A and B are shown apart, each in its own frame.
Chain A
Amino acid sequence: MKTNNVSILVVDDEKVVRESLAKWFREDGYQVESAENAAEALKKMQTKKWDIMLLDIKMPGMDGMELHQRIRDLDSTATVIFITAHATVDSAVKALKNGAYDYVTKPVDPDYLSHLISNAVKQRELLNENVRLKEQVTELEKSTDILGKSPQMQRIYKLIESVAQTDTTVMIRGESGTGKELIARAIHNNSERRYFPLVTLNCGGMPEGVLESELFGHERGAFTGAHYRRKGKLELADGGTLFLDEIGNIDKKTQMDLLRVIETKQFSRVGGNEIIKVDFRIISATNRDLEEGVKEGMFREDLYYRLNVFSIEVPPLRERTGDIQLLADHFLRKYSESMAKPFEGFSNDAIEKIKSYHWPGNVRELENAVERAIVVGTPPTIKATDMPFSLKESSNHAAPAGSLEAMEQCHIEKVLAEQNWNISRSAETLKIDRATLYNKIQKYGLKKPT
């Protein structure tokens, strides 16, 4: 702790107090000045920033309490300590409620005063360090994994930037693997809530009771196996953002409960009566056609409108082919470094192969493909043969977007090729019986390559 960087202003109408305190702190190396009344203190605040301000409460004219209010308006970071000969419980409570660091009575024990000031200085150092670290983290987080120079991605960046500053509920839509969670993270990191947690809950494939407990938490004994009280994601997200992935998969009861929480911002843990108030923002994501779900009565319309206030559509990778090489290069650098394999780039045929592929699994599939190629490949170049086999096969069978039948055909062809057209093994992999597989082969006119 360097005391000579710390400035202290003593405000007291008694000259002897001002002088003795100033002298006491000066011997410790602090920069000390004093003011005999509030007006002089405010004047001194115009010309210099004071780290710690010691205020007397009873002073002629503006008293210490009022001066404290004015100080807070001018510099909310100043540490204010009241030091008074006329201590009352009321004034102490008022001072501390208004944000004073401490309240001491004159005469003060020198050891106490010494520690008080030293702790105040340490706290200020920690706060300053905290601000610096947050700034550094913000800078680091700006360089997240969202990559893309395509016009579609540029549009998404603009949407993220504009919606992040608001507290609006956002729904991110896009195929699996397009990076919906990264977009949710980018919104959170650019929002006022960035210093609070971003809590993710994947609602997909979670049984009703489990999802309810995950969201709302539970009290001890709420159900068999609930040995301890557990906080839910809603509670954990207090102050921050709750990211609900695969929102289209939640059951009707949880939809209703969630709607109520969004509207009231309060809930009770499963098996509990205590009302818990929370402040959170919801970002949801889905790869489903929720409008269709609403029509079919599978998804509550009121919840849909609550969640879908601002929508961001993430394009599939095949619709932004210009970004494919950029992403591939990024993953190459990332995995080369983490696996300590010095790859410099892709061979021409590997690039061709990557660019011509349909990427039904989008960016996630591309990342996995590059990671695998780095595992099997030999530096310095990734060759076409290092790319996954399925990629080669599927590249000729790009399925039209949104068509379930085309996807099914594509997948059956892939599995048949992998199993060398062995019908039994292929049916087993596809988890259908042989007869069904034969029917599908016939339906799609698939033929064994000669």
Chain B
Amino acid sequence: MSKVIRIYNSSDIQSRTLDRITVTVRKVFGIPVSISNVSLNLQDIYDSGREQYNSTALLAKILHTFDTKNNKSIVIVDEDLFIPVLTFVFGEAQLDGSAAVVSTHRLKNQYYGLQTNDQLMHERLEKEIVHELGHTFGLYHCRDYECVMKSSTYVEEIDLKMALPCKACRQFIVDYRNKHKSA
């Protein structure tokens, strides 16, 4: 059973914002959460043709760099992420695994030519962190449009959903924890 969720911050997000997000993460997953500021060199996963960073390669880097054994680790970056077949991703996670990544790049209003709104960006980040961590707990995408596990393929979809899982997804997390506790 995962003993702790580790949030590695390699972005410009301030600690007090992360502290608030930590409260939500702990509430949703029911296990302790720790935060560390890290500095990651992402040059080796940069695709100059696309001017983006390969998120799958970043996941591999996380697994290699951090102690993910018995933990769920998520890294926050400011860089624009992609997986080869898609134009971009907000984040990526190992399904029922231990590593996840989330990018703030496309969560910012500025990216869409809109006025800066830090509050909104933080809410989006909170939802994306919970969403990607949800995948590491084995959760699939949910059809409930308010559930945090609803798939979001554009930023306004993130705004529509809540930061919390629906009843069914909540129960799934409880079952997952119980199953892994006994294991």
Contacts and interface: CB of A to CB of B under 8 A. Distances in A.
A binds B: yes
Interface in A1-37: 1, 14, 16-17, 19-21, 23-24, 26-29
Interface in B102-161: 135, 140-141, 143, 151, 153-154
A26 to B, nearest CB: 6
B141 A106 contact: no
Contacts of B30: none
Contacts of A113: 86, 153
Interface residues of chain B: helix, strand, loop or mixed (majority): loop
Interface residues of A, number: 22
B172 interface: no
Interface in B59-102: 82-89, 95
A20 B140 contact: no
A107 B85 contact: yes
Contact of B86 (A14, A28, A108): A108
Interface in A405-424: none
Contacts of A27: 95, 135, 140-141, 151
B140 A21 contact: no
B153 to A, nearest CB: 4
Contacts of A21: 85
A23 B95 contact: yes
B22 interface: no
A20 B95 contact: no
A20 B83 contact: yes
Given A19-B56, A27-B95, A27-B141, A107 B153 contact: no
A114 interface: yes
A28 B141 contact: yes
B153 A108 contact: no
Given A16-B56, A27-B151, A29-B141, A107 B95 contact: no
A14 B84 contact: yes
A431 B151 CA distance: 80
B87 A110 contact: yes
For the complex of A and B, list the 5 residue pairs with the smallest distance between their C-beta atoms, beginning with the closest: A111-B153, A20-B83, A29-B140, A110-B153, A107-B87
Interface of A: 1, 14, 16-17, 19-21, 23-24, 26-29, 83, 106-111, 113-114
10 contacts: A14-B84, A26-B95, A29-B141, A83-B85, A107-B84, A107-B85, A108-B87, A109-B86, A110-B153, A113-B86
